[in-house]
A = this chain, B = another copy of it.
Amino acid sequence: MSTTTTAARSGAAYTPTERTVPTRARQRASYDRALVHAILDEGYVCHLGFVRDGAPVVLPTLYGRVGERLYVHGSTGSRPLRMAGARSAGPGAGAPGLPVCLTVTHLDGLVLARSAFHHSLNYRSVVVHGTARQVTDPDELRTALDALVDQVVPGRSADSRPANAKELAATAVIRLDLEEVSAKVRTGGPHDDAEDLALPHWAGVVPVAPRTGVPVPSADLDPAVALPGYLTAP
């Protein structure tokens, strides 16, 4: 499906494909690798799409990135993971895997125009098309689980008990290579028509950003365990 070549993988940009070139607002699309990575690394939740019985399913889930590969995990009993695993284990060379679309979106602002028509949102998003395959190599599984924990808080995997054999057996992880990828970014104010500029309606942008609050320790946390530095930094 992907037209990405080996050469392109080491370049500064992903190679556009028919389905990563938008039909509209093309000026907002980007294939810049550093931008894509930055958007992915800033997120916590992705929306994973797959097809089940011919119909689309979109589920929110945690993810992690290691280089040019994304990982999504869940119970071995969860639907998309079972589907990817079943297909990967199916007959035929190459382990077909599960076609997915993984999307990460950050909302940056509410765009208020004088005209209802030009109301919009400022955002940064990444859309990844590809085939998810179940991770079976034990070393890759551990690397993926570390990445998933570090996506929640960078560096956290080094300050928690690693998964044991029982937990590894209960966890299914799928991987998705970053090959067919695009970012989309809208910034700036509203684009009102010239004849609307004198209308008496306020126009501009209300910035929106996620804010982390004061950490709440578990009720059963030993009071001797101090809040780690990576949670107190601004």
Which A residues form the contact surface with B (CB < 8 A)? 1, 19, 23-24, 44-45, 47-52, 54-60, 62, 74-75, 77-79, 82, 99-103, 105, 107, 110-117, 119-121, 123, 125, 127, 129, 145-146, 148-149, 152-153, 156-157, 159-164, 167, 171, 189-190, 192, 196-222, 225-228, 231
The residue on B at minimum CB distance from A196 is B161
Query: How many copies of this chain are found per oligomer?
Result: 2
Shortest beta-carbon distance from A112 to chain B in Å? 7
On whether the beta carbons of B114 and A161 are closer than 8 Å, the reply is yes
How distant is the Cα of A27 from the Cα of B153 in the complex, in angstroms? 26
Shortest beta-carbon distance from A186 to chain B in Å? 11
Which B residues lie within 8 Å of A217 (CB)? 202-204
How distant is the Cα of A221 from the Cα of B190 in the complex, in angstroms? 11
Given known A75-B24, A110-B44, A123-B45, contact A101–B221 (CB-CB < 8 A): no
On whether the beta carbons of B47 and A47 are closer than 8 Å, the reply is yes
**Which of A57, A62, A148, A205 counts the most chain B CB atoms within 10 A?**
A57
Which B residues lie within 8 Å of A145 (CB)? 116-117
